[in-house]
Amino acid sequence: VRVEDKLFQNRYLVDAGRPHIKVAPHETPSAALLALTRICPAKCYEQNERGQVEITPDGCMECGTCRVLCEAKGEIEWNYPRGGFGVLFKFG
């Protein structure tokens, strides 16, 4: 079974209007922020046409990679989704 097929079994409940991760305003993204566009397993991060990094946290698996890389430097704000929202993992 491919990893992608397993991930497809997870479900995600969007908390509309209350993103649990936010990217701090910036002109030019740091190397770490830019790296998130490649390493986020859920592909939540993208560069916009001005080169800035944006996030759409729908589908985030709460793996914590972006938190480890960018939260301490204040480049992103990271909170767990409210109870009942976010990823619902299917095990087995």
Query: Can residue 77 be called a binding residue for ligand SF4 (CB under 6 A)?
Result: no
H helices, E strands: number in the chain: 3, 6
Smallest separation, CB 40 to ligand SF4 (Å): 3
Query: Can residue 44 be called a binding residue for ligand SF4 (CB under 6 A)?
Result: yes
Left if phi > 0, otherwise alpha if psi is -120 to 50, otherwise beta: which for 56? beta
Cβ closest to ligand SF4, residue 5 vs residue 7: 7
Q: Shortest CA distance to 35 belongs to which of 66, 58, 62?
A: 66
Q: Using an 8 Å Cβ cutoff, are 20 and 81 in contact?
A: yes
Piece of the chain touching ligand SF4 by CB under 6 A; list 10-18, 25-33, 35-43, 46-54: 35-43
Cβ closest to ligand SF4, residue 28 vs residue 79: 79
Piece of the chain touching ligand SF4 by CB under 6 A; list 11-19, 24-32, 46-54, 55-63: 55-63
CA angle 42, 43, 49 (to 5 degrees): 160
Interacting residue ranges for ligand SF4, rule: CB under 6 A: 21, 40-42, 44, 57, 60-67
